[in-house]
Amino acid sequence: MTAPGAGRGIGNGESAAEITTTFVGLPRDSFRILHVSTGNVCRSPITERLTRHFVRERLGILGGGLIVESAGTWGHEGAPMESHAETVLADFGADASGFTGRELLDEHVIRADLVLTATRDHRAQVISMGHSAGLRTFTLKEFTRLVKAIDPATLPPLEEGVVVRARALVRAAAALRGWLLAPNAEADEVYDPYGAPLTFFRSIGDEIHLALDPVVTALTGVPARA
């Protein structure tokens, strides 16, 4: 059986066959997650590909209308991912193949249902583009903090589809934003490893992993395997 979302690409370098899912009877709809950093060659590619990887680990597939992609506010259009970023992805068993950098465009923000940025400056830049992006744009770590405060029992079950669950998650996170502030100015930042040694890239990869884990658990309703 072919599920909703089958036949759609899920971002850079993915074929339609790779996103065929087992979800049946769900609306033919999609939920698009956009990861944003500066050059779109380090942080946002790592976050994009780890999101896909961790969803697949939970569900065995990536699909059901879930689309994950990335772009950069000063994106290196057509550039390959930084080699250290590829190494970080390999450390997690994630796929780095087929990636090309993109400059952030209005159309990316318009289509996105959730924008997760590396820093507060990136968040401000996305929101300044307009398109009613404020309620669906967060830094990655900000979104993680909010998601951890949401009772999973209040979210639609996965049987209703990843799209329905993801939309409810974003609404709940947006409602909490004014109540759960960052403990300090640096708490919501993922620093740029561009030009740094592999050890620093790996530390950034670990930060991204820790931030993504509760988000993917909330999206899928499935915790990480021990």
Assess if residue 26 is contained within a domain.
Answer: no
Q: Which residues have CB under 8 Å from 58's CB, separation 6+?
A: 216, 217, 220, 222, 223, 224
Assess if residue 126 is contained within a domain.
Answer: yes
Output the pLDDT for position 104.
97
What DSSP character marks residue 224? P
**How do strand 114-117 and strand 137-139 relate by DSSP bridges?**
parallel
Assess if residue 205 is contained within a domain.
Answer: yes
3-state secondary structure of 32: strand
Query: Domains in the chain: how many in total?
Result: 1
Output the pLDDT for position 178.
83
Output the pLDDT for position 5.
31
Assess if residue 110 is contained within a domain.
Answer: yes
Instruction: Determine which helix (DSSP H) or strand (DSSP E) holds 81, and give its type and residue range.
Output: none
Domain range enclosing 176: 31-220
Output the pLDDT for position 12.
47
pLDDT band at 175 (very low <50, low <70, confident <90, very high): very high
Assess if residue 127 is contained within a domain.
Answer: yes
Output the pLDDT for position 134.
94
Output the pLDDT for position 160.
93
CATH number of residue 200's parent domain: 3.40.50.2300
* Lowest-pLDDT choice from 93-97, 109-113, 179-183: 179-183
Assess if residue 13 is contained within a domain.
Answer: no
Query: DSSP H helical segments within the chain, as ranges?
Result: 43-59, 83-91, 106-111, 120-128, 140-148, 162-176, 198-220
Higher-pLDDT residue of 110, 19: 110
Over residues 86-109, the pLDDT tens digits come to: 999 999 999 999 999 999 999 999
Mean pLDDT of the chain: 87
The pTM assigned to this predicted structure is 0.87
Assess if residue 5 is contained within a domain.
Answer: no
